[in-house]
């Protein structure tokens, strides 16, 4: 399993690069520039060629045309040479030291894991001895447990120090890599002026969405040109205002649909367009759209006005979800807005490659998705600092969201995290602490007593076996049928589905009603096992998850 740094979420893997090759290419481009410079000098002289007649006039005209053609090529060669040289220097300064630490961190992590297991065993032995009558055994096992805990803590401190150093190096390289990509993206389009190119580079080199927003607001006179030149960049850059992103992404989508596309890609894009064309106002907005950056086409659609909303909700799907589900999730999003009331806006976030059945037990898709979701949340907070940010995640979507929210002490600014039919939270000490003890984010969870899929998923997933319903501080609410505060009967969730009859997010169901009430008031709307509640095969008398997260069958 690839290790992940605890604070920034960097994968512990080699950063590929060859500074020798980069330096060689930088030198080659410099020589190209110098050769073109010599040709420019000759062309400049030819423009002043003395004499009269058609032949001489033609030479002067050709020389002038050549000068005009040389200018952008020379600028591009110089630009590429500088970008490569700058990145090569940054690679040596940051990436190489990060790479050199990989084996040391792996060893330190193995030592910590061994010490942690030893401390756990020693603690269990001390606990068992405490039930005996031998004072000598109690004292001895207690001493061994104390010693093992101290060894574990020392190993953890050593590992934490190494991770902090690795993250410093990796962060420096990450910024340099982003700046290089920004410079290359700007340089690839000759229509950008030097000022516009510098603006784009500054945006893409920004450290977080708040900085992106600050840079964006500083240059309103350059917005239109940048959107026209790079809609695919501006439409997906967290921190850019959502009305700008929505327009840029819709234009990008329409342009792609107007061209030639493989049948499967056209089907995906047409599914997004159908979701955008849903009836009602305000018009749904495509706030992110990436047709090529990952294995699946990814997108996020906002229903409601994010700029003015006081409650911003995000729906995160689970296993086997695709953009073909956007329309159905959009219906739930609009119903949620109506149930919460004025000031509610809901984003259907399909911004990651969801796992299939074989991938679901692992954490790979969640790790990638959590990085994208965390950036998205930071963007929401930067643009709407006074709004409540609520995350409603289903199945493996809750695993992904838990990793993102729990990776930071401030929960990326999330007010309420609501897990429905969770496939299990990650078995990670930092994530568990931040979700259950730091209390930056209030966590809510429900699982239907007829949801076998979620329970089996947790039991067979080495990376995410933790039932959120058992975490300290989590508010558990029912989805097994109930009665609203107005006396309306609320149907139960009868399986694992997110949408449709008997599903967690079906409008009118107890689960959906409780989600809306949590957003409105901070509390579920029905009592646990209250009037109308039903029992299923998987109820607590037959099947449960112990505090150690082990599956126990009757």
Average pLDDT, the chain: 85
Q: Is the pLDDT of residue 512 over 50?
A: yes
pLDDT (tens digit, 9 = 90+) per residue, 482-503?
899 888 999 999 999 999 999 9
Q: 37 or 211: whose pLDDT is higher?
A: 211
Quote the tokens at residue 508: 């009118």
**Distance (Å) of CA 54 to CA 51, 57, 540:** 10, 5, 98
Read off the pLDDT of each residue in 288-301 and give the average, rounded to a whole number: 88
The reported pLDDT for the residue numbered 46 is 64
> What number is the average pLDDT over the span 447-452?
90
pLDDT band at 56 (very low <50, low <70, confident <90, very high): low
Q: What's the CA gap between 161 and 508, in Å, rounded? A: 51
Q: What is the pLDDT of residues 368-400, one digit of tens each?
A: 899 889 999 999 999 999 999 999 999 999 999
Percentage of the chain with pLDDT > 70?
88
Q: Global pTM?
A: 0.68
| Gap between the Cα atoms of 387 and 473, Å rounded | 23
Check residue 418 and report its DSSP letter: E
Task: Give buried/exposed letters for 465-491 (b at 16+ CB in 10 A, else e).
Answer: bbbbbbbeebbbbbbbbbbbeeeeebb
Can you give the residue ranges of every domain in the chain? 19-177, 189-229, 235-553
Question: What pLDDT score does 546 carry?
Answer: 35
Cα distance between residue 352 and residue 366, in whole Å: 8
Question: Buried b vs exposed e over 31-44: b needs ≥16 C-beta within 10 Å?
Answer: ebbeebeeebeebe
**Tell me: the pLDDT tens digits for 307-340?**
999 999 999 999 999 999 999 999 999 999 999 9
- Contact 144/55 with Cβ under 8 angstroms? no
pLDDT above 90 coverage of the chain, percent: 49
d(CA 377, CA 451): 29
| Residue 415 per-residue DSSP state | S
Encode pLDDT of 241-252 as tens digits. Answer: 999 999 999 999
Q: 84-93, 205-214, 237-246, 278-287: lowest mean pLDDT where?
A: 84-93
Was domain 235-553 assigned CATH 3.40.50.1820? yes
How far, in Å, CA of 311 to CA of 301, rounded?
Answer: 16
Please confirm whether the linkage preceding 282 is cis (ω < 30° from 0).
Answer: yes
Segment 418-427 shows an average pLDDT of: 95
Among 52-61, 151-160, 260-269, the minimum mean pLDDT is found in: 52-61
Across residues 62-85, what is the average pLDDT? 72
């Amino acid at each position: 399993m690839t290790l992940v740094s605890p604070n920034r979420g960097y994968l512990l893997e080699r950063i590929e690069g060859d500074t020798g090759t980069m330096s060689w290419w930088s030198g080659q481009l410099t020589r190209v520039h110098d050769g073109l410079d010599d040709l420019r000098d000759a062309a400049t002289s030819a423009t002043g060629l003395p004499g009269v007649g058609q032949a001489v006039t033609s030479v002067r005209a050709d020389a002038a045309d050549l000068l005009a053609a040389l200018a952008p090529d020379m600028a591009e060669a110089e630009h590429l040479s500088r970008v490569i040289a700058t990145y090569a220097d940054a690679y040596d300064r940051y990436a190489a030291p990060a790479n050199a630490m990989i084996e040391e961190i792996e060893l330190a992590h193995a030592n910590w894991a061994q010490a942690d297991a030893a401390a756990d065993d020693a603690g269990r032995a001390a606990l068992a001895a405490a039930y005996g009558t031998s004072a000598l055994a109690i004292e001895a096992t207690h001493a061994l447990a104390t010693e093992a805990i101290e060894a574990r803590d020392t190993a953890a401190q050593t590992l934490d120090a190494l991770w902090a150093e690795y993250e410093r190096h990796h962060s420096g390289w990450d910024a340099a890599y982003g700046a290089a990509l920004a410079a290359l993206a700007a340089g690839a389009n000759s229509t950008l002026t030097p000022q516009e190119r510098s603006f784009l580079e500054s945006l893409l080199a920004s450290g977080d969405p708040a900085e992106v927003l600050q840079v964006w607001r500083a240059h309103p006179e350059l917005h239109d040109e940048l959107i026209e030149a790079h809609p695919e960049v501006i439409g997906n850059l967290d921190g850019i205002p959502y009305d700008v992103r929505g327009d840029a992404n819709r234009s990008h989508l329409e342009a792609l649909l107007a061209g030639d596309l493989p049948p499967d890609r056209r089907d995906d894009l047409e599914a997004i367009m159908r979701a955008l064309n849903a009836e009602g106002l305000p018009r749904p907005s495509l706030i992110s759209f990436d047709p090529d950056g990952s294995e699946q086409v990814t997108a996020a659609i906002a229903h409601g006005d994010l700029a003015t909303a006081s409650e911003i909700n995000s729906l995160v799907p689970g296993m086997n979800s695709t953009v073909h589900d956007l329309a159905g999730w959009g219906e739930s999003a609009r119903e949620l807005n109506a149930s919460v009331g004025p000031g509610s806006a809901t984003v259907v976030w399909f911004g990651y490659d969801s796992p299939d059945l074989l991938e679901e037990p692992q954490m790979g898709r969640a790790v990638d998705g959590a990085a994208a979701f965390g950036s998205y949340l930071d963007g929401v907070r930067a643009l709407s600092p006074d709004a409540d940010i609520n995350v409603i995640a289903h199945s493996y979507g809750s695993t992904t969201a838990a990793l993102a929210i729990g990776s930071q002490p401030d929960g990326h600014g999330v007010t309420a995290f609501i897990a429905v039919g969770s496939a299990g939270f990650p078995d990670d000490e930092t994530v568990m602490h931040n979700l259950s003890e730091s209390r930056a984010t209030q966590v809510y969870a429900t699982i239907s007593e007829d949801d076998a899929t979620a329970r089996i998923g947790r039991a067979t997933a080495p990376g995410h076996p933790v039932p959120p319903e058992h975490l300290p501080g989590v508010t558990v609410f029912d989805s097994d049928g109930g009665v609203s505060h107005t006396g309306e009967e609320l149907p139960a969730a009868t399986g694992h589905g997110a949408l449709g009859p008997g599903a967690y997010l079906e409008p009118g169901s107890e689960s959906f009603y409780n989600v809306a009430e949590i957003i409105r008031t901070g509390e579920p709307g029905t009592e646990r096992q209250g009037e109308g509640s039903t029992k299923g095969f998987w109820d607590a008398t037959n099947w449960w998850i112990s505090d150690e997260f082990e599956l126990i069958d009757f």
